[in-house]
Structure 1
Amino acid sequence: MKKTGFLFLALLTLITACNSGAKSEDKKEEKVEEKRIVSLNGSVTEIIYAVGSQKELIGVDVTSTYPAAAEKLTNLGHVRKLSVESLLALNPSHVVMLEDEVSPDLKSKLKQAKIELVTFKHPNSVDEAKSLVKEVAKWLGKAQEADEVVAKIDADIKGLAKLDKKPKVLFVYARGAGTLMVAGEKTPLEKMIVLAGGENAGKGFVDFKPLTSESVIAANPDVILMFTSGAQSLGPDGIFNVPGVSTTNAGKNKALIQMDGQLLSGFGPRVAEALTELNKEFKKIK
């Protein structure tokens, strides 16, 4: 009996060890390999952080300025001018970007290197911003986290103050005094202005057009809206020295709103934050 009992225990130990080994193998098979992501769009980068997948991010482009932690990653520069060799040196598993920013050269070299290229539609509205959040998060396996981000966007937009009077707002894009453009109808900037409670002063044309003294006088905005980088490129109070601006209501009152370019026009997870900031600035205009 003792010998039989010993054999039984030995057999049981062997079976347990085999099952344990099988479970260990199963766990190895179930383990999902982490991605090594290079993001070539600031809004996509923000979403990756917003849903908690930043550990998989190894490189970014020049528009990825938020959150601050993103600036500590390898910066590959502007998507249109980046060195594909520098990108490949990071040994990414995936490159994510907006579909209208993919160059044939980049696409070809990524394919040759067997690196997966993942693209998303360029967002130009709040609804498209929410869709982008959901699509990027789904790809990352973070659908639930996306729902939380979208819910906050909706809640923040509902909290925007209703203004008694809509200020006339002229968005001016600047890269020094030699490049001054104003935003017209059907532009993403017009959508932000209107949603925040203002009226776009750029009327009678679609897209962007060069700023002229005649056009700015005719528009007569109550306030001028600019990217912070654009305003700084003109120097202190530089926009008010542009011919025609001083005669407008905005010029007379030195009414200028400066906002971070990525925040204002990125249509990412902070789109409602941008609208809230703009809405508060509009409330100050007399």
Structure 2
Amino acid sequence: MTTKIRWSVFLFLFSLTAYAQGTKPERIVSLSGTLTEIICELGLQNQIVGVDVTSTYPAAMAKVPKVGHNRNIGAEAVLALRPTVIMAVRSNGSMDIKPELIQQFKSAGVKTLVFDQETSVAGTKKMINEVAKEFNASAKAAAITRKLDADLAKARKPAKVQKVLFIYARGTGTMMVSGRNTPIEKIVQLAGGQNAFNDFDNFKPLTPEALVVGNPDVILLFTSGLESLGGIDGLLKVQGVAQTNAGKNRHVIEMDGQLLTGFGPRLGLAVQELSRKLNQELTLK
């Protein structure tokens, strides 16, 4: 075989190998429930080999190996899944997982993508497009954002703005209330409500005094949080709750946590549901 022929054969075989590698499915580990939803909406669900515990949607994710909560994930658990891509988010400028963990992944030679998540409609669309670009799926991203807009257009805000107090609860021992600059504040505003507290940022412990000052019209909780308190009756036993307008009228809304605060492809559906429930509470007055 001449040198020219051998070189041609080599180039041919190399091109075949490169093609095969280029089309080989990724092994994705998602460390964000929102990223998981986006990946699945892009049609890449079968390439997900591991997720964090916030990845509760779609239901098929229940069968995917869990690597822990995004704030206490160990590198070993993730790398044991032999990922080719690890994905995480930076929410409103703050890392959801430890920066040193990201460095460990990169040091192990695994492609690690960190996306900035801004909890707004524009921020949601931006992240969907950025994730899609990484997987050459921009056409699918366009369809997802069009549906998001259509879903938002269907939301019907209440005729009267109500003060909404969000309580993060894990039993009576862990109860926090939402202030400014939180995903909760943003979703409440999109649904036509008003956050009950605007004199502090992020979250702070719930106190009876704060409840009296805030005096919400409606109390909002994750479904899991309300369950941890024993339902509405259990919530009303928390000191100060029964004295609020919301408590007196039993105006309590529960929603799935990932749907409510995920700011992913289902954002429009979340706004629809919260708007509908706020309207329902308004008609009960």
- In the superposition, the TM-score normalised over structure 1's length comes to 0.87
Residues 158-212 of structure 1: per-residue CA shift (max 9 Å, x gap):
1111322112211111122122211122322111111101121113333222222
Matched, 1:91 2:82: yes
Alignment of 1:37-48 (within 5 A): 37-48=28-39
Q: State which drifts further: 77-86 or 276-285.
A: 77-86
The residue number in structure 2 matching 1:132 is: 127
Runs of 4+ in 1 over 4 A off after TM superposition: 21-28
Cross-structure match for 2:263: 267
Match of 2:236 among 212, 236, 240: 240
Is 2:19 aligned against 1:30?
yes
Q: Identify the residue that residue 70 of structure 1 maps to in structure 2.
A: 61
| 2:175–2:206 CA contact under 8 A, matched in 1 | yes
What amino acid maps onto 1:169 in structure 2? V
Aligned twin of 1:186? 181
Change (3 A) 1:23 1:153: same
CA distance 1:252–1:79, change in 2 (3 Å): same
**In the alignment, structure 1 residue 211 sits paired with structure 2 residue 200:** no
Partner of 2:43: 52
Q: Which has the larger displacement, 105-114 or 119-128?
A: 105-114
Provide the C-alpha distance between the structure 2 equivalents of 1:44 and 1:195, rounded to a whole number of angstroms: 21
Question: SS where residue 182 of structure 1 aligns?
Answer: strand
Cα separation, 2, equivalents of 1:265 and 1:230: 14
Checking the alignment, whether the CA contact within 8 Å between 2:179 and 2:200 is kept in structure 1 is yes
* Closer, same or farther: CA 112–218 of 1 in aligned 2, 3 Å: closer
2:3 is aligned to none
Q: For residues 93 and 225 of structure 1, do their structure 2 counterparts lie closer, same or farther at Cα, with a shift above 3 Å needed? A: same
- Residue in structure 2 matching 1:123, options 96, 118, 132: 118
Moved more, 76-85 or 126-135: 76-85
Q: Give the 3 Å change call, closer, same or farther, for CA 22–109 of structure 1 in structure 2.
A: closer
Evaluate the alpha carbon distance shift between residue 76 and residue 168 of structure 1 in structure 2; reply closer, same or farther with a 3 A threshold: same
Moved more, 23-32 or 268-277: 23-32
- Equivalent position to 2:167, from 163, 172, 183: 172
Q: Percent identity?
A: 45
CA distance in 2, matches of 1:78, 1:206: 23
How many angstroms does 1:232 deviate by? 1.4
Map of 2:72 onto structure 1: 81
List runs of 5+ in structure 1 lacking aligned partners.
1-18
| Paired letter, 1:261 | G
- Say whether the 8 Å CA contact 1:203–1:219 is kept in structure 2: no
For the 8 Å contact 1:167–1:285, the answer to whether it is kept is: no
Is 2:251 aligned against 1:255?
A: yes
Partner of 1:12: none
Q: Do the aligned partners of residues 137 and 202 (structure 1) sit closer, same or farther apart at CA in structure 2, a change above 3 Å counting?
A: same
Task: State the SS of the aligned residue for 1:52.
Answer: coil
Distance 2:163 2:98 in 1: 38
Q: Which has the larger radius of gyration?
A: 1
Q: Secondary structure at the match of 1:267?
A: coil
Deviation at 1:61, TM superposition (A): 0.7
Alignment: residue pair count: 268
1:281 Cα deviation after fit: 0.1
In structure 1, how many angstroms separate the alpha carbons of the residues matched to 2:204 and 2:239?
16
C-alpha displacement at 1:107, in angstroms? 2.7
Which residue type is aligned with residue 189 of structure 2?
Answer: V
Between stretches 159-168 and 87-96, larger displacement belongs to: 159-168
Q: Using the alignment, how far apart are the partners of 1:111 and 1:34 within structure 2?
A: 20
> Counterparts of 1:153 and 1:203 in 2: how far apart (Å)?
28
